[in-house]
Chains A and B, each alone.
Chain A
Amino acid sequence: MIVVENLTKSYGSKKAVDSLSFSVTPGRVTGFLGPNGSGKSTTMRCMLGLDKPDTGITTFDGRKYADIESPLSHVGSLLDAGDAHKGRTARNHLRWIAMTNGISASRVDAVLQMVGMEDAARTKVGKFSLGMRQRLGLAVALLGDPKVIILDEPANGLDPEGIRWTREVMRHLAGEGRSVLVSSHQLVELSLVADDLVVIGQGKLISSGPIGNFMTQHAKTWVRVVSPQFDALAALVAAQGGTVERTAEGGDFHAVSAVVVGDIAAANNIVLHELSPQTGSLEQAFLDATDASVEYRGQSTTTNVWEAPKP
């Protein structure tokens, strides 16, 4: 189990992480979300002792990272797929890491096989695609067969098969009782794999807990209705405080529940062809939750910054 307590890290006058506290439970995949520059990578570096936090502590099963003997056997991490000497072969890259923690060469071959890189074992890292480097990074994380796994954007650069494989690996590892913390910008992927979410913005905690709770708190919900008497129903629902949004086949009711809409339709003998509660995506919920803490925002394509210069 990972417990992060009151973590704060500043660079000059800028607070990259601000009194951040959360925990990662064994047997579950915890998604770590936040806009660019929100402090996700800094948090992970502080957790692993690479950056020294101003305040706060991170413990792995009750112990600080620096106090763990043979840390790779307890905590496996992938922070940046580019962290490998381009002139070394994949196998040699894993071997020097394995040596530091007394991990056998046979385990190196085993993890290369696990990530599907046994044929590329003697190829130099410089010749690898980004996807191959991600796989090698995952091999590093799995090298010590750790109980805790920390992955920063593990699916970055992977093809669809690789993304699905990464998802299956994370699920499998959590299924074995390991704690898995994964940051990702691929929200659809994360929604398919994460059990819990830790959402941060500008270094501060926005939400922490099961993904269902986050969706309940932040995702939009509405009721989709298809009916030949839609206008009549819309008027009745509006009188109950609901708002209506017309679509091609019917419409969406906001601020009312499906039960209320169904009761109104039944009480007024209105025929319904469809009555279904709808929930917004994790992406929409994430964007809504972090809207106030987005630090770097792109220009909308409707603004004139995208217009071609006039001759």
Chain B
Amino acid sequence: MIDVLKSELFKLRTTRATKIVVICSIALPAIIFGLTSVFGFTNGEVGDSLISMVGNFAPLSGLLLGVVGVLCSTQEYSQGTIRITLVATPNRLKVFVAKILTTLVVSIVSSLLMLLLCLVPSQLILSSRNITFDVIGSDLRVLLSVVILSAFLSILGLSLGLIFKSSPGAISALLLWPTILEGMVFGLLSLAFKDTNVFKFAPIQGNGFRLISTFSGTKENTWLVSLTYFSTFVAVFVVLGAVLFTRRDA
């Protein structure tokens, strides 16, 4: 298993597309947040804590790490290396688990790096501007949520890649579902049922992205309910991806 894990990590390290997307997932939020710290924040505008502001970038970073998950699986099909992968390791479940673990490691490390690169320079910049703020304060849960969101979106991307076997299909599904389709579907449901609170059943926007928000309203899901709902949604795709990957002809 260790050999297969090492091989999967090596594969990710030696493809340019994955490296670029990983760098983007770390650097884009860091750059935007750094610039905001330089030009934007004034005293009293930093919110509850700096990390709660950084948390707003988690969906962007998480979706980019989801694309890394997609590439981890679909590049094997588009380049034909899946045949060599499965000839070298005939136990497909082992390959699947190795891909999941690799994607998780990359997404967790990347999201932690993203947080670090957002927080440390901003802290220095804001201190030099004599702006007072809390770095984490009482929002430790946001730190955890950013990492969880990135990890789940990356394995969702991997699973979609294994289901679609093509980058355009899987990336479209990964990006269009939370950004457009989910809003349309649950918007229509809310009209149909005359219930504005139906959005809390939206798996990614209503629960996944909500993990990093402040939970105050009584009609909204709690953090734990949102986590359970979102993880169940991701688990369905992981199981579907595993079943198709282990049973389909390569």
Contact = CB atoms under 8 A, between A and B. Distances in A.
Contacts, number: 80
A79 B90 contact: no
Contacts of B17: 87
Contacts of B85: 100
Interface string A70-109: 0110010101101111111100100111011110000000
Given A50-B87, A100-B88, A85 B15 contact: yes
B84 A86 contact: no
Contact of A87 (B10, B15, B88): B15
A96 B14 contact: yes
A66 B80 contact: no
Interface residues of B, number: 26
Contact of B90 (A66, A82, A95): A66
A162 B113 CA distance: 49
A85 B249 contact: no
Interface residues of A, number: 32
A87 B10 CA distance: 13
Contacts of A66: 90-91
B128 interface: no
Contacts of A86: 79
Contacts of B3: 99-102
Contacts of A48: 87, 90
Given A66-B90, A88-B14, A99-B7, A51 B81 contact: no
A80 B83 contact: yes
Interface in A38-70: 45, 48-52, 65-66, 68
B10 A71 contact: no
Given A45-B83, A51-B249, A65-B90, 5 more contacts: A48-B90, A83-B79, A84-B80, A99-B10, A100-B4
Interface of B: 3-4, 6-7, 10-11, 14-17, 75, 79-81, 83-91, 247, 249-250
